[in-house]
Amino acid sequence: MNSFTLPELSYAYDALEPFIDKETMTIHHQKHHKAYVDNLIAALDQAGETDSDLDSLLQRISEYSPAIRNNGGGHYNHSLFWETLSPQPKLNPEGKLGEAITTAFGNLENLKAEMKKSGLGQFGSGWVWLYVKFSGSLAISSTPNQDNPMMDLQSANRGFPILGIDVWEHAYYLAYQNKRADYLDSFWSVLDWSSVEKKYEEALSKIK
């Protein structure tokens, strides 16, 4: 029996308003994310898979069924998403991550512009990622559905995600309707760079 659980949020559902509204947060967490967790457990049990290390599963996801891929990705992606949001965020990256962003993109505004471009260019549902390549450098990419750069589905654009923006319509449609660009702009007002800095350090520690 697998032991994946829906993570509790460290803030109230209305804490990110007006940038992300209470109703969207409630449905997104209690309905969408919970469904990914429940369906992941069911798919793993059906496959007789007992590995509870989600990172390990995703890095060899090509060995598993679409149900494990979609729901494992959904659980991982949303868990990362919640962890990097805050009602009292640190609005600018510092330290090693700040330096890496300057090296890779020139400055923070360029990074935001590239992620927005990637988010607007993602057709249909998906995610936009800032991730650490297995070589150690930073990069931006988008993925469809619940895929992410950790998955062994492609030879390029692989690495450890440290920041993900959910561009599925369920993440923003109640407040922003079809205005994905406005949602992508608002996202930065609740992104906590202190959390991303920790994710960056964790990612670097995984690189051999």
pLDDT score at 3 = 77
> Does pLDDT of 1 surpass 70?
no
Distance CA 111, CA 12 (A): 29
Quick one: how far is CA 136 from the chain centroid? Answer: 19
pLDDT per position as a tens digit, 77-124: 999 999 999 999 999 999 999 999 999 999 999 999 999 999 999 999
Domains and CATH numbers, the chain: 20-208 (3.55.40.20)
Report the alpha-carbon distance of residue 160 to residue 134 in Å, rounded.
7
> How deeply is 162 buried, as exposed, middle or buried, from its count of CB atoms within 10 A (0-12, 13-18, 19+)?
buried
Mean pLDDT of 157-179: 96
What mean pLDDT do residues 11-33 have?
98
Q: For the residues of 88-118, what is the DSSP string, one character each? A: S---S--HHHHHHHHHHHSSHHHHHHHHHHH
Q: 25 pLDDT exceeds 90?
A: yes
Residue 43 has pLDDT above 60, yes or no: yes
The whole-number pLDDT of residue 38 equals 97
pLDDT value at 17 more than 90: yes
Q: What is the pLDDT of residues 121-166, one digit of tens each?
A: 999 999 999 999 999 999 999 999 999 999 998 777 899 999 999 9
Q: Is 27 exposed, middle or buried (0-12, 13-18, 19+ CB in 10 A)?
A: middle
**Alpha carbon distances (Å) from 149 to 18, 48, 121, 139, 152:** 30, 26, 17, 10, 8
